[in-house]
Amino acid sequence: MTSDPYTYHEGFGNHFSSEALPDSLPKGQNTPQKCPYDLYAEQLSGTAFTAPRTHNQRTWLYRIRPSVVHSPFQPTENPLLTLQGESTPTQLRWSPFDISKEDEDFVQGLKTVSFAGEPSTGGGLAIHIYTATKSMDHKAFYNSDGDFLIVPQQGRLDITTEFGKMMVAPNEICVIPRGIRYSVALPDGPVRGYILEIFGQTHFEIPDLGPIGANGLANPRDFVTPKAAYTKENNVDWKIVTKFDNKLFIAEQNHTPFDVVAWHGNYVPYKYDLAKFCVINTVSYDHIDPSIFTVLTAKSPVPGVAIADFVIFPPRWAVSEHTFRPPYFHRNCMSEFMGLILGDYEGKTGGFSPGGASLHSPMTPHGPDTKAFEGAYNAELKPVRVGDNTQSFMFETSLLLKVTPWALRTCGKVQEDYWKAWANLEPKFNA
């Protein structure tokens, strides 16, 4: 992977001001009678006007033409983008999802794996796989239903947004909030990755640190947001695709949607390098709960209960004494969807590969497989590195996830023998 060619604003949750031309932001007000450079003022609201100031999110965009200049929307299809499915308590694991041999761009390559709730009520989430073999050509996409947290697994994404450009590589993530238009180019060829979508006006936050203190985990300064950049393309046909109530619609316009010369606000796209995560872990005994690895959370109205958490299992030291160090056997009130960006996962010794996934539903037992258990059960407990050259992650939710027909059957990637990972765990009881 080559270096990122773009520059960014730093910080999480900040109110940013960004100009591609000098003095292109109005001074002292948002909607002057005439904006600098005769730009149009347009507000993008990510929360209700009356949301508490601590959670209110909006941005003012100053653009060459307002985004309302387009033809009526017409329905278009992606049958694999669906909120139809069934629930199962069975542990599921998928081999790496195939990248299509056909030409498909980022939008055409969206495939839903699992979901809970639905967008029209503003509650719930969906988990998608994306694959693509070509760049979006004079096509922009925005999600009317919710925020996308995008986890590249293969290949960089060169993303042009209304706010500017960002390059997102494997072992980085980006979040593109609801309503923001963007286009995805592929500088390295075919791509694959994972998406966590949260519906409605709930947005991702960095978790509270409590007694950890003021620093640690995902530090705010390590999140970056694009700087204003614009193109001045007119009399060129563009297609604007939106996901609206989980259906795709398309409109046309004869100018670029990426004509924002300046903007200011706190409702923004951003990215984060997972290698910058500051790991917190035990230095005495016991395996600490995986919540210590939370990068981002989308809170529910119930304190301490998340609609969704994004959790990683990064490289780190394991030093705990007289302790079974891998993840413990567990039955959880949450749903756990895991993916693998690169390398191997410490709790499994085979079958869980980069580009694949697993799902453990509420109260369904799971834990280390037989070989991983035996290795840790008999290991010498000296300080060791864990997870070097690997990166696994988890989308965890308090909701019960249904699985789509494509994910259960059509994709052909479900490992029917996954249950055998635990079949040879024998009793060790010696009383």
In sequence order, the 6+-apart residues with CB closer than 8 A to the CB of 158 are 135, 165, 167, 184, 185, 186, 187
Binding-site annotation: residue ranges for Fe cation: 330, 336, 366
Binding-site annotation: residue ranges for homogentisate: 345, 366
pLDDT in tens, the chain (431 residues): 458 999 999 999 999 999 999 999 999 999 999 999 999 999 999 999 999 999 999 999 999 999 999 999 999 989 999 999 999 999 999 999 999 988 999 999 999 999 999 999 989 999 999 999 999 999 999 999 999 999 999 999 999 999 999 999 999 999 999 999 999 999 999 999 999 999 999 999 999 999 999 999 999 999 999 999 999 888 899 999 999 999 999 999 999 999 999 999 999 999 999 999 999 999 999 999 999 999 999 999 999 999 999 999 999 999 999 999 999 999 999 999 999 999 988 767 778 999 999 999 999 999 999 999 999 999 999 999 999 999 999 999 999 999 999 999 999 999 999 999 999 999 999 88
pLDDT of residue 3: 82
What are the structure tokens assigned to 160, written together? 């042009």
CB 134 within 8 A of CB 108: no
Spatial distance between the Cα atoms of 167 and 158, rounded to a whole number of angstroms: 5
**Is there a catalytic annotation at residue 287?**
yes
- The single residue of 15, 55, 138, 287 carrying the catalytic annotation is 287
Measured in whole angstroms, the distance separating CA 12 from the mean position of its chain's CA atoms is 16
Q: b vs e for 156-184, b when ≥16 Cβ sit within 10 Å of the residue's Cβ? A: bbbbbbbbbbbbbbbbbbbbbbbbbbbbb
Spatial distance between the Cα atoms of 248 and 78, rounded to a whole number of angstroms: 7
What are the structure tokens assigned to 23, written together? 């003095």
Q: What is the DSSP string of 152-211?
A: EEES-EEEEETTEEEEE-TTEEEEE-TT--EEEE-TTS-EEEEEEEEETT---BPPP-GG
Binding-site annotation: residue ranges: 330, 336, 345, 366
Q: Distance of CA 116 to CAs 78, 83, 113, 308, 402, Å?
A: 19, 8, 11, 11, 6
In 3D, which of 403, 426, 307 has the Cα closest to residue 113?
A: 403
Per the listing, tokens 């590195």 go with 385
CB 269 within 8 A of CB 167: no
pLDDT of residue 21: 98
pTM attached to this predicted model: 0.97
